[in-house]
Amino acid sequence: MQNILNNNNNNNKIKRFVIITGMSGAGKSSALNIFEDQGFYVIDNLPLTLLPQLLDVLATRQSAINNGVAAVVDVRGEELLGEFEQVLACLKEKIDELEILFVDASDNCLVRRFETTRRRHPLATGTTILGGIGKERVQLNVIRHQADIIIDTSGLNLPDFKKKLLDSMEMTSDKPVIVISSFGFKYGLPQDSDYILDVRFLHNPNYVDELQQLTGKDKPVREFLNNFDSLEKFIVKAKNMLSFVASVYSNTGKKQLHIAIGCTGGRHRSVAVTEILASRMQKSGDKIIIEHRDITKGNL
């Protein structure tokens, strides 16, 4: 995935970070899946101390920049309590919007879930499931009191949990995540695309000596293509069509819409159009992810 914005550090900053924690069996994994469906970059059980360092790496991840990062931390990481305060302070220095989501459930509900799945509670070594739950509550009590949002999943089915989570986080599921990818027809069609747009009608920068070794992400290539009126007309019409398609898809419950844009080799025209179109749609409030499948595969 590539960043559709400039190399401006302010634009590349991750603005929202959600720490998902809580009781084992209460629904942390389900919460993480919901955030992923919303376009967040998700992390499951990474050592807590690595989270601040990871932010620098994720500054190149489109989903992390546009939508945010959601990370599960729990008692599987044994250092959770001892290092939580320090890591939290470090994250607050880097992130504008840092939230702690605590997922909980009643003891009876948790016991029933562990018995149904036949999984062992992570703290139940040498004791019963209920004993492990009791140990975990003691360990997480301090963190629970610091949580910005607490959701009790006792008696909730997955659709109800999703609605409650999205409402609590002030997020909506109205729009699907839109993946806009570039590709080269010579390497085959993307098998998972919903719509394919062909931009081979544009003049090919590959036949301009000084542009041949560049890609559609480079300014000279974009300037070359901007000299032709057909580019802007195409971008405007494509944006209008795709915005409409995204709104229709949302009514079907589809979580992701993949738009593939192709040229001959997937290095110049398709890449440039993907970058421009994605930037326009992002400014309109769409959740965009960019991929350039064939950008490194040649210069034809």
Domain residue limits, the chain:
16-168, 177-292
Report the SS3 class of residue 210.
coil
Predicted pLDDT of residue 214 = 93
- Can you give the pLDDT of all 300 residues of the chain as single tens digits? 343 333 444 456 788 889 999 998 899 999 999 998 888 889 887 777 788 888 878 877 777 887 888 989 876 655 556 678 888 888 888 888 889 999 999 999 999 888 887 788 877 777 888 888 988 888 888 888 888 899 999 988 888 898 889 888 877 655 678 889 999 999 999 888 889 999 999 999 999 999 999 999 999 999 999 999 999 999 999 999 998 888 787 666 566 789 999 999 999 999 999 999 999 998 888 888 899 999 998 754
Q: Model pTM greater than 0.95?
A: no
Predicted pLDDT of residue 251 = 63
Rounded alpha-carbon distances, angstroms, from residue 291 to 62, 125, 185, 193 = 9, 45, 15, 12
In this structure, CATH architecture of domain 16-168: 3-Layer(aba) Sandwich (3.40)
Predicted pLDDT of residue 268 = 96
HEC assignment per residue over 129-151: HHHHHHHHHHHHHHHHHHCCEEE
Predicted pLDDT of residue 172 = 66
Q: Which residue has the tokens 């993907």?
A: 274
User: For residue 296, how many other CB atoms are within 10 A of its CB?
Assistant: 9
Predicted pLDDT of residue 9 = 47
Positive or negative, the CA dihedral 43, 70, 171, 39 is: negative
User: For residue 236, how many other CB atoms are within 10 A of its CB?
Assistant: 12
Predicted pLDDT of residue 3 = 39
CB 207 within 8 A of CB 214: no
Determine the residue type at 287. K
Closest by alpha carbon to 87, among 134, 119, 40, 55? 55
Please report how many Cα atoms fall inside a 13 Å half-sphere around the Cα of residue 182, on the Cβ side.
30
Predicted pLDDT of residue 200 = 96
